[in-house]
Amino acid sequence: MQRVLTFGRPLVRRFLGIAVLVSTISCGGGSSDSTSTPSGGTSPSVVPVPANSATQGEIGTGGGTLSLAEVASATFPAGAFAFGRSVSIKATALEEAASTFAIEAAIQQLAIRSYEVRINTGEALPVGHTSVTLVVPQAIRQAAAEVQVLAEVDQFTTNELASSFEVLDSVLDTTTGTITIALPGSDTIFAKGRNDSGHEAVLVIAPLLPAPAPLALQSSVAEAPFIALPFRSDFDITSQYGGPHGGIDMVRAQGGGEDVLAVADGVVIANAWNLKPCKPDDQRCASLGLTHRGWGHYVLVSHADAGVYTVYGHLQGIEGVVSGPAAGLPVGRGESLGLVGATGGVTGAHLHLEYRWGGAANAERVDPEPRLRGIFDGKYTKSELLPDGFIHTETNTITLNRVTGNRSFSNGLVGGAFNWKGIVHADSANFGTISGSGTIENLGTRPFVLTTGGVELMGDGTAQMSWTGLDPMFGMIGGVAMREACDPFLKECNQ
C-alpha cells in the first residue's frame, strides 16, 4: 500500500528559511561548529547511524542508481551529468545538522529524528530530479504512523547566509517501510561546499505528529493574522521575501542597537545561537566575504492562539551567551526581545524577520511584509469649502507608520495641490521629518516647510492627527485626519 503525503506548497515555493535552533547532540561525527543549547529547549534524539554508513559509485551520462543498504538509494535520470561522475551516499549524525534541524523539532515538538543521509555529486550539479528512496528507521515508524522527509536548503541574500530544513513532498510505502522523494537539482539543496567538498544534499526523516497543545492551531482565523511592527519607529526593508529568502531583512537608520519588539503576544520557545564556520569550499560564504553562516543570536516566538510563529535573527550578543527572555516565558506585543545586531552570517547589522502560520504540524512560511500593521495605519479623506473660497480636498494615507498626504484646492478658476510625506513614531506618537512640495497653476512647483505635528489617541479608540506648514504665498496650511476605533491587527482600517 502506498500513501501520498503532501506537506504544504511545493519545495520550489518553500525556500523560506527560519532561524534555526541550536542544540548539542553527541551521536558520532563531531564538528567544529559553535553551538549552544536553546534556552529552556530540548533536542530530539537521533537514530544511531547504521554500521554500513557509506558507499560510492560511478554514474554515467545515461543515468543510474547508487544504493546504500538499509539506508537509501538514489536514481539519477539520463543526462543528469554531462560526463561520468563519482557519487557517494553517507549516513552521519553531526552537530551541524542538529543545529540546522532544530527549528522543526522545536515547533513540532519532535522527540526523535533519523541520522542525516548525504548525497554528494562532487563538482557537478545534477540536472533534473533525482529519485531518492529512504529506508525509514524502525524507531521512526514506531513513533508515528506518518513520516516526513526534510532537506537542508540554503537561504541567502546579498547581505546574509544561513540554511534551514524544508519539508519535501513524499510517498510512503508502508509495505516496504520506505519513503520516496523527487529531489530537485537545485544548488540551494545540492549546495557546493556547505558541509563538505562538492555538491551535497542533506536529508532527514522525522515523524509527522499531531500538533501538540499549546502549539496547535486554535484559532478560526481564515487567513494569516496581521502583526505589529518589530520597531518603535522608522525602518527600511532591504531584502524582500521570496526565492532563496524566507523572510524580510529590516534595517534601522541607526545601523544597529535598537530594540527588536515582539510583533504579537506569545511565548518564547527558543532563545539561542546558530553560528557555523564557513568551510573552505563554501562558495556562497566566499562570495559574501563571510567567515560564518547562520542566524547568530535569535529568538523564536510561538503565538499559538493564532497558529503563528515568528523568528528574529542576527540579534546583538556575545557569541554563545544567551540574553533576553528565556524559552518558556510569555512576551507581550511590543516587548523587547533583544537589540538589532550583526551576529551570524551577515555583512551588516539588520533584523531578519520570519513568519509561519497554520499550526505546528504544517506551518507555512508567509511573507511578513503584507501582514505588518503600524499603530496608525489607515486612509483618511475629507473635503470642505474654506473661507478662502476654495474647495479643499485632503487625503492622507498611513502605512507602516509612514504618512503620505496631499491637498488639492480649486475655486473653478485656479487651483493647485500640495503633497507631503513623513513618519509617525510609534513610541512618542509624534511625526518625525516631514517634507513636501506644492504646485500652483501657471506658477510652477515651489517647496514648502511642514512643522512637526502630533497624534492624539482618544479614549474611544480613535486617533486624531494634525500638522501645519508654511507656504511662501498662501501662508499657513495644515492637515487633520481621524481614525475610527478599530484594531489594525484584525482588519483594514478606513481603507
CA 271 vs. chain centroid, Å, equals 16
Distance from C-alpha of 151 to C-alpha of 165, rounded to nearest angstrom: 5
Residue in the block written with cell 507555512: 364
Asked if residue 84 has pLDDT above 80, the reply is yes
Higher-confidence position of 468 and 423: 423
Is residue 159, in this structure, part of any structural domain at all?
yes
Query: Does the structure show a pLDDT above 80 at 420?
Result: no
Domain boundary (310, 344, 372) is at 372
Number of structural domains the chain divides into: 3
* 493, part of any domain: no
495 part of a folded domain: no
Q: Who wins on pLDDT, 461 or 383?
A: 383
Give the span between the Cα atoms of 385 and 402, in whole angstroms.
28
Calculate the alpha carbon distances from 335 to 112, 368, 479 in Å: 33, 19, 32
- Asked if 367 and 421 sit in the same domain, the reply is no
384 vs 400: CA distance, rounded Å: 28
Which stretch of 38-42, 70-74, 455-459 has the lowest confidence by average pLDDT?
Answer: 455-459
Cα-only R_g, the chain: 27
- Among 12-26, 365-379, 480-494, the range scoring the smallest mean pLDDT is 12-26
* In a shared domain, residues 114 and 250: no
* pLDDT for the residue 411: 79
Place of cell 484584525: 490
What pLDDT is attached to residue 358?
Answer: 73
* Average pLDDT in the chain: 76
Percent of the residues in the chain that have a pLDDT greater than 70, as a whole number: 68
Reduced to 3 states, what is the DSSP secondary structure of residue 139?
Answer: helix
Do residue 197 and residue 278 come from a single domain?
no
CA 384 to chain CA mean position, Å: 45
Q: What is the DSSP string of 147-173?
A: EEEEEEEEEE-SSBEEEEEEEE-EEEE
Do 102 and 250 have their domain in common? no
Residue 197 pLDDT grade (very low, low, confident, very high; cuts 50, 70, 90): confident
Residue 427 and residue 303 in one domain: no
What is the b/e burial string over 81-101, where b = at least 16 CB atoms within 10 angstroms of the residue's CB?
Answer: beeebebbbbbbbbbbbbbbb
pLDDT digits (tens, 9 = 90+) for 308-366: 899 999 999 998 788 899 999 999 988 999 999 999 999 999 999 999 887 655 667 88
Q: CATH no. for residue 329?
A: 2.70.70.10
pLDDT higher than threshold 70 for residue 392: yes
Examine the domain organization and report whether 166 and 240 are in the same domain. no
Same domain, 361 and 392: no
Residue 203 belongs to a domain: yes
Confidence class of residue 384 from pLDDT cuts 50, 70 and 90?
confident
Is 215 within the bounds of a domain? no
288 and 324 in one domain? Answer: yes
Residue 353 domain boundaries: 227-372
Q: What's the distance, Cα to Cα, between the start and end of the chain in Å?
A: 53
Q: Which residue among 345, 372, 399 closes a domain?
A: 372
Nearest to 400 by CA among 373, 422, 428: 373
Residue 133 buriedness (CB in 10 A; 0-12 / 13-18 / 19+):
middle
Q: Which of 372, 388, 421 is the last residue of a domain?
A: 372
The reply to whether the predicted model has a pTM over 0.85 is no
* pLDDT recorded at residue 46: 95
| Mean predicted confidence (pLDDT) in 385-405 | 74
Model confidence at 396: pLDDT above 90: no
Of 88-97, 312-321, 397-406, the one with minimum mean pLDDT is: 397-406
Q: Determine which of 28-32, 59-63, 381-385 has the lowest per-residue pLDDT on average.
A: 28-32
How many C-beta atoms surround the C-beta of residue 425 within 10 A? Answer: 15
Q: Do 21 and 156 fall within a single domain?
A: yes
User: What pLDDT does residue 361 have?
Assistant: 56
3-class DSSP state of 253: coil
Q: Is residue 50 part of a domain?
A: yes
188 and 82 belong to one structural domain? yes
Q: What percent of the chain has pLDDT over 90?
A: 42
466 part of a folded domain: yes
pLDDT digits (tens, 9 = 90+) for 243-277: 889 999 998 766 678 899 999 889 998 898 888 89
